[in-house]
């Protein structure tokens, strides 16, 4: 099956008005690059530099219980949502919005966990003229961690804005990513714009004064490139996707309770041939993960867990359920929480 390239280099910047969690995941401990304190609650702050512009960056690193430097480990990369934090660390804006249950769950699963301290509060982990090379920042962080520890595979975990980065990077670097997990997912940025109802000052600023509208070719192309699950779903034929959405999520309502908030292209739950024409969205029908899994048995593994009482929160992800799914020990398809989830519709 042909994989569509949807890279973002040299396109203009973007942001969507989203809120993120403000809780921290434990006290931060500073350590020079290469040091390896084994602690699930107190991360090391690992410094690295951009391979593009030498910008000073860092990420928080948690090594699992029973860590051994001689063994290979899965690397889980957490991509936080948009917003400022009260805690800034050297080398970027603190990525301390990581949910504590993911920290403890990663340690119990024996995986290395890092959370990026990004150069801006937005950027969507994309290479843009206004936001800088923030997709490359993610790739550089992964490469730096690989230079420190033995990494066998990479899993991207995104919340809110971070789900856009996780999907785009997985879609364009399939040989790098062995799995993704999404909480509060944004799968169609055109519809998010339509849902918000009007251009937002911060959004326009991040787009260098632009916003998606008919005729705005470069911005339309950028939105499309950052919506791969809507426009290039076949790119995920070999990448397991874990998704959780809340029924009370009014920030990114990709869920059964509130969908369709604009045009019904959820890309996972249901299909539609409608599109957000006011935002310049290209026409075309939605191809859902469910339909792809049915047409190509075994090629599309996804687990969509709907939590009816949940809001916009990264804590929706249940680490045990996530790692069991990635390990192939729990089923694929559509589910309803509480945990363990109840099957709505198993995958074909």
Every domain of the chain and the residues it spans: 29-346
The CATH architecture assigned to 29-346 reads: 3-Layer(aba) Sandwich (3.40)
Per-residue pLDDT tens digits for 107-131: 999 999 999 988 887 778 988 888 8
Q: What Cα–Cα distance (Å) separates residue 34 from each residue in 144, 149, 213, 327?
A: 10, 9, 47, 29
Considering the entire predicted model, what is its pTM? 0.85
∠ CA 153-158-164, rounded to 5° = 110
Split at pLDDT 50, 70, 90, the class of 232 is very high
Of the chain, the percentage scoring pLDDT greater than 90 comes to 43
Instruction: Give the 3-state secondary structure of residue 127.
Output: strand
Per-residue pLDDT tens digits for 314-346: 888 999 999 999 999 999 988 888 767 776 665
Split at pLDDT 50, 70, 90, the class of 139 is very high
pLDDT at 15: 30
Q: What Cα–Cα distance (Å) separates residue 118 from each residue in 139, 140, 244, 270?
A: 12, 12, 24, 34
CA distance 95 to 89: 9
């Amino acid at each position: 099956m042909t994989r569509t390239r949807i890279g973002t280099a040299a396109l203009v910047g973007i942001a969507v008005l989203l809120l993120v969690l403000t809780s921290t995941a434990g006290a931060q401990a500073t350590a020079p690059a290469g040091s390896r304190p084994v602690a699930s609650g107190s991360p090391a702050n690992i410094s690295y530099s951009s391979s593009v512009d030498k910008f000073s960056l860092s990420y928080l690193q948690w090594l699992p219980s029973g860590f051994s430097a001689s063994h290979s480990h899965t690397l889980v990369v957490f991509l936080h949502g948009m917003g400022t934090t009260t805690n800034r660390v050297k080398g970027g804006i603190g990525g301390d919005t990581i949910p504590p249950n993911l920290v403890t769950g990663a340690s119990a699963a024996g995986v290395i966990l890092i959370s990026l301290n990004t150069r801006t509060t937005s950027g969507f982990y994309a290479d843009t003229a206004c936001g800088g090379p923030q997709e490359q920042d993610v790739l550089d962080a992964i490469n730096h961690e690989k230079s420190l520890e033995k990494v066998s595979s990479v899993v991207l975990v995104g919340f809110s804005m971070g789900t856009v980065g996780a999907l785009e990077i997985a879609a364009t670097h399939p040989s790098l990513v062995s799995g993704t997990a999404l909480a509060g997912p944004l799968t169609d940025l055109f519809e998010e714009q339509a849902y918000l109802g009007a251009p937002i000052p911060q959004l326009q600023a991040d787009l260098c004064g632009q916003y998606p509208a008919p005729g705005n070719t470069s911005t339309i192309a950028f939105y499309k490139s950052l919506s791969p699950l809507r426009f290039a779903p076949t790119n995920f034929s070999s990448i397991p996707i874990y998704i959780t959405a809340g029924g009370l999520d009014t920030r990114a309502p990709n869920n059964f309770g509130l969908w369709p908030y604009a045009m019904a292209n959820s890309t996972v739950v249901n299909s539609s041939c409608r599109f957000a024409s006011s935002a310049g969205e290209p026409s075309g029908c939605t191809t859902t993960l469910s339909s792809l899994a049915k047409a190509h048995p075994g090629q599309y593994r996804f687990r969509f867990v709907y939590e009816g009482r949940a809001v916009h929160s990264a804590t929706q992800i249940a680490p045990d359920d996530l790692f069991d799914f990635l390990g192939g020990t729990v089923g694929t398809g559509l589910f309803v929480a509480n945990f363990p989830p109840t099957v709505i519709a198993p995958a074909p």
